[in-house]
Structure 1
Amino acid sequence: VHAYNALITACAAAGSSEQAYAAFRRIQRRGMRPNIRSYNALMSALESTNEWERAMELFQRMQAVRPGKETVLPNLVTCNTLLTCLGKAGRLAEALDVYNWMKARRISPDGVTCTALMVACDRSGQC
Protein backbone atom coordinates (compact mmCIF):
# COMPACT_ATOMS: atom_id res chain seq x y z
CA VAL A 1 0.00 0.00 0.00
CA HIS A 2 2.88 2.38 0.77
CA ALA A 3 4.17 2.32 -2.81
CA TYR A 4 0.69 3.04 -4.16
CA ASN A 5 0.28 5.88 -1.67
CA ALA A 6 3.51 7.39 -3.00
CA LEU A 7 2.18 7.01 -6.55
CA ILE A 8 -1.14 8.68 -5.64
CA THR A 9 0.77 11.50 -3.94
CA ALA A 10 2.91 11.98 -7.05
CA CYS A 11 -0.21 12.07 -9.22
CA ALA A 12 -1.68 14.72 -6.91
CA ALA A 13 1.48 16.81 -7.21
CA ALA A 14 1.27 16.49 -11.00
CA GLY A 15 -2.40 17.52 -10.99
CA SER A 16 -3.62 14.21 -12.37
CA SER A 17 -6.67 13.07 -10.43
CA GLU A 18 -7.55 10.39 -13.00
CA GLN A 19 -4.15 8.74 -12.58
CA ALA A 20 -4.53 9.03 -8.80
CA TYR A 21 -7.93 7.31 -8.95
CA ALA A 22 -6.45 4.57 -11.15
CA ALA A 23 -3.71 3.90 -8.60
CA PHE A 24 -6.28 3.94 -5.78
CA ARG A 25 -8.43 1.37 -7.61
CA ARG A 26 -5.35 -0.80 -8.19
CA ILE A 27 -4.88 -1.04 -4.43
CA GLN A 28 -8.38 -2.46 -4.11
CA ARG A 29 -8.15 -4.75 -7.14
CA ARG A 30 -5.01 -6.32 -5.73
CA GLY A 31 -6.84 -7.24 -2.54
CA MET A 32 -5.20 -4.59 -0.39
CA ARG A 33 -7.05 -2.09 1.76
CA PRO A 34 -6.52 1.61 1.22
CA ASN A 35 -5.53 3.33 4.47
CA ILE A 36 -6.04 6.89 5.64
CA ARG A 37 -2.93 7.99 3.74
CA SER A 38 -4.38 6.52 0.55
CA TYR A 39 -7.60 8.45 1.01
CA ASN A 40 -5.80 11.65 1.97
CA ALA A 41 -3.52 11.43 -1.07
CA LEU A 42 -6.54 10.91 -3.33
CA MET A 43 -8.35 13.82 -1.64
CA SER A 44 -5.26 15.94 -2.29
CA ALA A 45 -5.36 15.00 -5.98
CA LEU A 46 -8.98 16.10 -6.17
CA GLU A 47 -8.17 19.34 -4.36
CA SER A 48 -5.30 20.06 -6.76
CA THR A 49 -7.66 19.77 -9.72
CA ASN A 50 -10.52 21.66 -8.01
CA GLU A 51 -12.90 18.70 -8.19
CA TRP A 52 -15.01 19.59 -5.17
CA GLU A 53 -17.95 17.34 -6.13
CA ARG A 54 -15.76 14.25 -6.41
CA ALA A 55 -13.99 15.25 -3.19
CA MET A 56 -17.36 15.40 -1.39
CA GLU A 57 -18.27 11.99 -2.83
CA LEU A 58 -15.00 10.54 -1.53
CA PHE A 59 -15.63 12.09 1.90
CA GLN A 60 -19.11 10.54 2.00
CA ARG A 61 -17.84 7.18 0.76
CA MET A 62 -15.27 7.11 3.55
CA GLN A 63 -18.08 7.37 6.10
CA ALA A 64 -20.28 4.69 4.54
CA VAL A 65 -20.55 1.46 6.47
CA ARG A 66 -19.90 -1.45 4.14
CA PRO A 67 -20.55 -4.96 5.48
CA GLY A 68 -17.38 -7.01 5.54
CA LYS A 69 -15.16 -4.03 4.81
CA GLU A 70 -13.16 -1.87 7.15
CA THR A 71 -14.25 1.76 7.27
CA VAL A 72 -11.54 4.43 7.09
CA LEU A 73 -12.95 7.56 8.70
CA PRO A 74 -11.85 11.03 7.63
CA ASN A 75 -9.33 12.74 9.93
CA LEU A 76 -8.17 16.36 10.28
CA VAL A 77 -6.00 16.13 7.16
CA THR A 78 -8.89 14.72 5.12
CA CYS A 79 -11.26 17.42 6.32
CA ASN A 80 -8.79 20.26 5.81
CA THR A 81 -7.99 19.12 2.28
CA LEU A 82 -11.69 18.90 1.46
CA LEU A 83 -12.34 22.29 3.09
CA THR A 84 -9.53 23.84 1.04
CA CYS A 85 -11.09 22.42 -2.13
CA LEU A 86 -14.55 23.68 -1.14
CA GLY A 87 -13.10 27.05 -0.19
CA LYS A 88 -11.46 27.55 -3.57
CA ALA A 89 -14.79 26.72 -5.21
CA GLY A 90 -16.70 29.12 -2.95
CA ARG A 91 -18.88 26.28 -1.64
CA LEU A 92 -19.70 27.76 1.77
CA ALA A 93 -22.72 25.58 2.59
CA GLU A 94 -20.78 22.37 1.94
CA ALA A 95 -17.77 23.69 3.85
CA LEU A 96 -19.96 24.44 6.87
CA ASP A 97 -21.43 20.92 6.65
CA VAL A 98 -17.92 19.45 6.80
CA TYR A 99 -16.99 21.76 9.68
CA ASN A 100 -20.11 20.69 11.61
CA TRP A 101 -19.26 17.04 10.90
CA MET A 102 -15.80 17.68 12.39
CA LYS A 103 -17.27 19.31 15.49
CA ALA A 104 -19.72 16.42 16.01
CA ARG A 105 -16.79 13.99 15.98
CA ARG A 106 -14.56 16.15 18.16
CA ILE A 107 -12.00 16.75 15.43
CA SER A 108 -10.39 20.00 16.53
CA PRO A 109 -10.04 22.64 13.82
CA ASP A 110 -6.67 24.28 13.23
CA GLY A 111 -5.40 27.25 11.26
CA VAL A 112 -5.86 25.45 7.94
CA THR A 113 -9.49 24.75 8.84
CA CYS A 114 -10.18 28.39 9.69
CA THR A 115 -8.41 29.71 6.59
CA ALA A 116 -10.35 27.36 4.31
CA LEU A 117 -13.64 28.44 5.89
CA MET A 118 -12.75 32.11 5.45
CA VAL A 119 -11.84 31.52 1.80
CA ALA A 120 -15.15 29.68 1.25
CA CYS A 121 -17.00 32.56 2.88
CA ASP A 122 -15.19 35.15 0.76
CA ARG A 123 -15.51 33.32 -2.55
CA SER A 124 -19.16 32.43 -2.00
CA GLY A 125 -20.07 36.12 -1.94
CA GLN A 126 -22.25 35.49 1.12
CA CYS A 127 -20.01 37.16 3.69
Structure 2
Amino acid sequence: MKWNPLIPFLLIAVLGIGLTFFLSVKGNGDAHQIASGGESKSDEKETANASPEEIYKANCITCHGENYEGVSGPSLKGVGKRKDVAAIKTRIEKGGNGMPAGLVPAEKIDDMAKWVSGIK
Protein backbone atom coordinates (compact mmCIF):
# COMPACT_ATOMS: atom_id res chain seq x y z
CA MET A 1 0.00 0.00 0.00
CA LYS A 2 1.33 3.37 -0.99
CA TRP A 3 0.95 6.37 1.36
CA ASN A 4 0.63 9.92 0.22
CA PRO A 5 3.66 11.80 1.64
CA LEU A 6 1.53 14.91 2.33
CA ILE A 7 -0.72 13.18 4.90
CA PRO A 8 1.73 13.50 7.85
CA PHE A 9 2.22 17.19 7.10
CA LEU A 10 -1.54 17.70 6.87
CA LEU A 11 -2.09 15.93 10.21
CA ILE A 12 0.59 18.01 11.89
CA ALA A 13 -0.93 21.23 10.48
CA VAL A 14 -4.47 20.33 11.61
CA LEU A 15 -3.33 19.25 15.08
CA GLY A 16 -1.11 22.31 15.40
CA ILE A 17 -3.92 24.69 14.50
CA GLY A 18 -6.33 22.88 16.84
CA LEU A 19 -3.84 22.93 19.70
CA THR A 20 -3.07 26.61 19.12
CA PHE A 21 -6.77 27.46 19.18
CA PHE A 22 -7.35 25.44 22.37
CA LEU A 23 -4.41 27.03 24.21
CA SER A 24 -5.42 30.55 23.17
CA VAL A 25 -8.95 30.03 24.53
CA LYS A 26 -7.56 28.52 27.75
CA GLY A 27 -5.02 31.34 28.08
CA ASN A 28 -7.75 33.94 27.66
CA GLY A 29 -9.67 32.41 30.59
CA ASP A 30 -6.51 32.33 32.70
CA ALA A 31 -5.84 35.99 31.86
CA HIS A 32 -9.24 36.98 33.25
CA GLN A 33 -8.55 35.04 36.46
CA ILE A 34 -5.12 36.65 36.85
CA ALA A 35 -6.56 40.11 36.16
CA SER A 36 -9.15 39.61 38.89
CA GLY A 37 -6.40 38.80 41.38
CA GLY A 38 -7.06 35.07 41.26
CA GLU A 39 -9.82 35.40 43.83
CA SER A 40 -13.21 33.93 43.30
CA LYS A 41 -16.48 34.58 45.05
CA SER A 42 -16.09 31.33 46.99
CA ASP A 43 -12.78 32.65 48.40
CA GLU A 44 -14.60 35.78 49.58
CA LYS A 45 -17.33 33.71 51.25
CA GLU A 46 -14.75 31.55 53.01
CA THR A 47 -12.99 34.65 54.33
CA ALA A 48 -16.27 36.20 55.46
CA ASN A 49 -17.04 33.09 57.49
CA ALA A 50 -13.48 32.59 58.79
CA SER A 51 -12.73 32.97 62.47
CA PRO A 52 -9.80 35.13 63.61
CA GLU A 53 -7.83 31.98 64.40
CA GLU A 54 -8.40 30.64 60.87
CA ILE A 55 -7.26 33.97 59.42
CA TYR A 56 -4.19 33.82 61.68
CA LYS A 57 -3.34 30.32 60.46
CA ALA A 58 -3.76 31.39 56.83
CA ASN A 59 -1.92 34.75 56.91
CA CYS A 60 0.01 35.38 60.11
CA ILE A 61 1.52 32.13 61.37
CA THR A 62 4.63 32.35 59.19
CA CYS A 63 5.82 35.56 60.88
CA HIS A 64 4.30 35.34 64.37
CA GLY A 65 4.72 31.59 64.88
CA GLU A 66 2.50 28.62 65.56
CA ASN A 67 2.37 29.39 69.28
CA TYR A 68 2.39 33.20 68.86
CA GLU A 69 6.04 33.20 69.96
CA GLY A 70 7.28 35.33 67.08
CA VAL A 71 9.52 34.19 64.24
CA SER A 72 10.42 37.03 61.89
CA GLY A 73 7.61 39.12 63.41
CA PRO A 74 7.24 39.96 67.11
CA SER A 75 5.69 37.66 69.69
CA LEU A 76 1.96 38.20 70.17
CA LYS A 77 1.89 36.76 73.67
CA GLY A 78 0.64 39.43 76.04
CA VAL A 79 0.26 42.07 73.34
CA GLY A 80 -3.12 43.00 74.88
CA LYS A 81 -1.27 44.15 78.02
CA ARG A 82 1.10 46.36 76.03
CA LYS A 83 -1.38 47.84 73.53
CA ASP A 84 -5.08 48.55 73.54
CA VAL A 85 -7.46 47.05 70.98
CA ALA A 86 -7.53 50.29 68.93
CA ALA A 87 -3.74 50.27 68.52
CA ILE A 88 -3.78 46.59 67.55
CA LYS A 89 -6.54 47.29 65.04
CA THR A 90 -4.54 50.14 63.49
CA ARG A 91 -1.45 47.92 63.14
CA ILE A 92 -3.48 45.12 61.51
CA GLU A 93 -5.24 47.55 59.20
CA LYS A 94 -2.33 49.77 58.13
CA GLY A 95 0.68 47.55 58.78
CA GLY A 96 4.05 49.12 59.47
CA ASN A 97 7.40 48.13 61.03
CA GLY A 98 7.71 45.23 58.61
CA MET A 99 4.10 44.10 58.79
CA PRO A 100 2.23 44.33 55.50
CA ALA A 101 -1.24 45.86 55.38
CA GLY A 102 -4.23 44.06 53.94
CA LEU A 103 -3.67 40.60 55.39
CA VAL A 104 -7.01 40.67 57.20
CA PRO A 105 -10.25 41.50 55.37
CA ALA A 106 -11.72 44.87 56.41
CA GLU A 107 -14.90 43.31 57.81
CA LYS A 108 -12.83 41.04 60.10
CA ILE A 109 -10.33 43.57 61.48
CA ASP A 110 -12.35 44.36 64.63
CA ASP A 111 -12.76 40.68 65.47
CA MET A 112 -9.09 40.01 64.76
CA ALA A 113 -7.87 42.91 66.93
CA LYS A 114 -10.03 41.75 69.84
CA TRP A 115 -8.81 38.17 69.42
CA VAL A 116 -5.13 39.21 69.24
CA SER A 117 -5.50 41.35 72.38
CA GLY A 118 -6.61 38.23 74.24
CA ILE A 119 -3.57 36.09 73.33
CA LYS A 120 -1.72 35.13 76.49
TM-score by length of 2: 0.28
User: Highest Rg: 1 or 2?
Assistant: 2
TM-score by length of 1: 0.27
Structure with bigger helix share is 1
